[in-house]
């Protein structure tokens, strides 16, 4: 990583006289016959283009059509023998222009432009060819100032007043919003649901993300019975591969019923925790999956998993999800779940945080990260 002049950087694409300059949200994109140059400002924000972690630069648009075509469409059109034009990544800080190296698009989001058949590039992730060192990362992505992190008072209620634990966690983790996922009349029309589900729906009226961002708890209007009419399906996997249900009864709901996990075409399996514990586990899992700041490692040994969790507090519940038994560990503003993938696959870990600083306890653990946003 080196300090360069604008002229040097523009020359990578063909020189200032023969390139075109565009605005891509808060970033600058320069396009020429020899390549593409991206310039982002130093800093760290969720709503602006920036260096996101040691491996990624994230761009937030919208982007003009020529940049969308260059970054997203043209790489797929080149044949195996064609030379792909390089994308050069730079950051402007107080020192000047810092060259990070080349990168390639790994993810892009588009939306259909209103009244048109053309898509607009809204966001884009570029992976650096050579990861940044910690020192270089701090040079181009100064750390965010400390923030108040959600506390762990709810943890003491997990094996006491679970209703209180669920409410404290959800209200502490998810900021209140004005959205209402269902009108109050729809919620009131479900008196036969167990109290735990009614509580979750009440919380979701102003915190809709607590119904899930990866998998989801179905809204009351979308409840259904299983093919035999024996189970009330209330939750499902994001691609429909499995679902969660309760035993359907006309005698009124149990106070804390068994939750049944079922993959399509397979017999149901009871979750180890009843609904009260399941809803806490579901909420923790979805909080981690939907967090802005993530750390994940897809293949760990048992010893590495132990090292990863030794500085965190375990959530005292039996494993979640029969498909890959999962345990939870927490710190202020941090939820980590570790899943036993079975056999030779070992363990996988995913941590989600409300602030980058909450990932600090994991930074020095000697494992290989697939992504680390700290």
Does 262 score more than 50 pLDDT? Answer: yes
Dihedrals φ, ψ of 222, to 5°?
-105, 5
Binning pLDDT at 50, 70 and 90, where does residue 305 land? very high
Structure tokens of 8? 């040097």
Q: Show the CA angle centred on residue 101, arms to residues 100 and 107, nearest 5°.
A: 95
Would you mind telling me the total number of residues written for the chain in this entry? 374
CB within 8 A of 171, min separation 6: which ones?
Answer: 203, 207
Calpha distance 132→176 (Å, rounded)? 36
Calpha distance 356→347 (Å, rounded)? 24
Which secondary-structure segment (H or E) carries 186?
Answer: helix 184-188
Report the SS3 class of residue 184.
helix
Tell me the pLDDT tens digit for each residue of 133-192: 999 999 999 887 778 899 999 999 999 999 999 999 999 999 998 766 665 555 554 668
Binning pLDDT at 50, 70 and 90, where does residue 250 land? low
Dihedrals φ, ψ of 49, to 5°?
-65, 140
Q: What is the pLDDT of residue 79?
A: 44
CB within 8 A of 236, min separation 6: which ones?
Answer: 215, 216, 218, 242, 243, 244
Q: At what angle do helices 275-289 and 162-173 cross, to 10 degrees?
A: 10
Span 219-240, average pLDDT: 86
Tell me the pLDDT tens digit for each residue of 268-301: 999 999 999 999 999 999 999 999 999 999 999 9
CA dihedral 43, 47, 49, 54 (to 10 degrees): 60
Q: What is the pLDDT of residue 180?
A: 63
**Chain-centroid distance, C-alpha 70:** 27
**Which of 80, 309, 279 lies closest to 167 in space, CA to CA?**
279
């Amino acid at each position: 990583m080196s300090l360069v002049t604008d002229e040097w950087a523009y020359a990578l694409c063909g020189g200032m006289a023969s390139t075109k300059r565009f605005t891509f949200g808060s970033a600058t994109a320069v396009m020429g016959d020899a390549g593409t140059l991206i310039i982002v400002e130093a800093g760290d924000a969720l709503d602006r283009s920036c260096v996101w972690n040691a491996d990624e630069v994230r761009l937030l648009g919208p982007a003009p059509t020529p940049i969308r075509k260059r970054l997203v469409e043209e790489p797929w059109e080149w044949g195996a023998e064609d030379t792909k034009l390089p994308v050069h990544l730079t950051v402007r800080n107080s020192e000047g222009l810092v060259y990070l190296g080349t990168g390639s698009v790994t993810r892009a989001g588009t939306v259909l432009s209103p009244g048109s058949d053309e898509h607009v590039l809204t966001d884009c992730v570029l992976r650096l060819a050579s990861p940044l060192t910690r020192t270089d990362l701090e040079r181009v992505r100064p750390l965010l100032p400390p923030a108040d992190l959600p506390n762990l008072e709810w943890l003491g209620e997990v094996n006491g007043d679970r209703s209180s634990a669920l409410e404290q966690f959800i209200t502490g983790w998810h900021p209140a919003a004005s959205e209402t996922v269902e009108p109050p009349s729809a919620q009131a029309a479900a008196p036969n649901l167990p109290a735990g589900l009614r509580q979750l729906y009440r919380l979701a009226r102003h915190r809709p993300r607590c119904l899930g961002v990866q998998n989801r708890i179905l809204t009351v209007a979308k409840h259904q019975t299983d093919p035999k009419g024996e189970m009330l399906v209330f939750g499902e996997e994001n691609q429909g591969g499995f679902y969660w249900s309760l035993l359907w009864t006309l005698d009124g709901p149990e106070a804390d019923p068994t939750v049944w996990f079922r993959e399509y075409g397979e017999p149901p399996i009871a979750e180890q925790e009843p609904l009260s514990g399941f809803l806490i586990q579901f909420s923790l899992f979805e909080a981690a999956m939907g967090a802005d700041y993530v750390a994940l490692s897809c293949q760990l040994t048992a010893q590495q998993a132990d090292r990863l969790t030794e500085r965190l507090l375990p959530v005292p519940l039996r494993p979640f999800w029969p498909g890959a038994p999962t345990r939870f560990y927490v710190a202020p503003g941090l939820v980590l779940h570790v899943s036993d993938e079975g056999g030779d696959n070992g363990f996988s870990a995913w941590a989600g945080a409300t602030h980058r600083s909450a990932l600090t306890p994991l930074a020095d653990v000697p494992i290989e990260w697939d992504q680390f946003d700290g």
